[in-house]
């Protein structure tokens, strides 16, 4: 029995949000087929999806924001964001090579619909009420990876571990706070519907493009060279670098290289060293080959390969197609 005073789980939140996305898109004539990992274990791999119809995969990355009452700034050059207290916060690592953000951003560029989704609540009781009323998405933040990248670009912020802070009305990307664009559910419904109805490519073609893009994530990577004056090992797999221009950047210990430049050391972001890839080209090809042996069609194999790699990153995949 669930104790309604407990904190919400990401699994339960994701379930409620996914069901509402299904209902939202089905109501405007979009067929929605969620990927279930159990399907991979079937003797014959096949999805109840018309891959020849116009369509797109939809990736949903669920985040549970930490509830906070005080905003602690790493960068003191500007004011703190204007947020009601308490507010929520989750982290996004934009520097991790072949990481979650990079996968989502590259998939968006290659034709997938991609959204970060996070609740503006934290307790089971709130979730239960919103779930019963069909208001989970209405009380959530939905934003695209490209909008996060644009927000960082607008402030000249380097890649690293960035915080998305939000209250019931606004959302910001920090260190230097810049307002983050969000999509409301009515806009989400119309945007996805119009994109699919207008596009010429079939879902099968888009899935092949997204799958091929997994090997080309460096194409959307920002190569940055940053000089720093000092660094602090945080003891949790991350390091804080104090840049010579007064900024700070927080990086995982696998997301950067160091190079000597005269008497100084500089950070190099956007390069992938040995051992940093989550899955190699050979491993990816082997997985596809195994799926193809059991798949009814080539498109079924690509769908399974794309969805399984996303699942390994904690990302929910839904296959979207038009009904006609």
pLDDT of 228-278, one tens digit each?
A: 988 999 999 999 999 988 888 999 988 888 888 777 788 888 865 544 556
pLDDT of residue 73: 63
d(CA 263, CA 270): 23
CB 106 within 8 A of CB 145: no
Chain centroid to CA 299: how far? 24
CB 318 within 8 A of CB 35: yes
Domain ranges of the chain: 10-218+278-322, 224-269
This prediction has a pTM of 0.93
Residue 124 DSSP code: H
pLDDT of residue 275: 44
Joined together, the tokens standing for residue 213 give 């893009």
pLDDT of residue 262: 73
**In 66-224, alpha helices (H):** 100-109, 124-133, 145-154, 185-198, 203-213
Place of tokens 């939000």: 166
**pLDDT tens digits for range 1-25:** 344 456 688 999 999 999 999 999 9
**Cα–Cα distances in angstroms (integers) from residue 143 to residues 35, 116, 136, 149, 293, in the given order:** 21, 5, 15, 11, 37
Instruction: Give me the half-sphere count of Cα atoms (radius 13 Å) on the Cβ side of residue 159.
Output: 24
């Amino acid at each position: 029995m669930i104790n309604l005073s407990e904190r919400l789980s990401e699994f339960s939140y994701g379930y409620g949000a996914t069901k509402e996305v299904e209902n939202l898109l089905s109501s405007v004539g979009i067929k929605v087929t969620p990927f279930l990992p159990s399907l991979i274990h079937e003797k014959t791999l096949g999805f109840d999806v018309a891959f020849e119809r116009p369509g797109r995969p939809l990736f949903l990355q669920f985040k549970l924001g930490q509830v906070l009452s005080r905003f602690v700034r790493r960068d003191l050059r500007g004011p703190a964001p204007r947020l009601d207290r308490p507010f929520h916060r989750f982290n996004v690592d934009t520097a991790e090579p072949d990481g979650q953000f990079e996968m989502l951003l590259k998939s968006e560029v290659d034709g997938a619909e991609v959204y970060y989704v996070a609740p503006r609540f934290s307790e089971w009781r709130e979730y239960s009420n919103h779930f019963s009323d069909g208001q989970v998405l209405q009380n959530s933040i939905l934003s695209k990876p490209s909008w996060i990248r644009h927000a960082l670009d607008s402030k000249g912020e380097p890649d690293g571990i960035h915080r998305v802070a939000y209250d019931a009305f606004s959302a910001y990307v920090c260190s230097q706070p810049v307002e983050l664009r969000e999509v409301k559910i009515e806009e989400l419904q119309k945007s996805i519907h119009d994109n699919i109805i207008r596009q010429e490519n079939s879902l099968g073609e888009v899935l092949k493009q997204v799958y091929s893009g997994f090997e080309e994530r460096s194409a959307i990577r920002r190569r940055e060279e940053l000089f720093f004056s000092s660094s602090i090992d945080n003891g949790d797999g991350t390091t804080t670098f104090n840049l010579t221009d007064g900024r700070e950047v927080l990086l995982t210990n696998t997301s950067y290289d160091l190079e000597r430049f005269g008497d100084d050391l500089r950070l190099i972001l956007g390069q992938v060293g040995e051992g940093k890839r989550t899955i190699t080209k050979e491993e990816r090809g082997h997985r596809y080959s195994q799926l193809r042996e059991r798949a009814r069609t080539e498109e079924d194999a690509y769908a399974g390969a794309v969805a399984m790699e996303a699942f390994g990153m904690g990302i929910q995949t839904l296959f979207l197609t038009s009904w006609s």
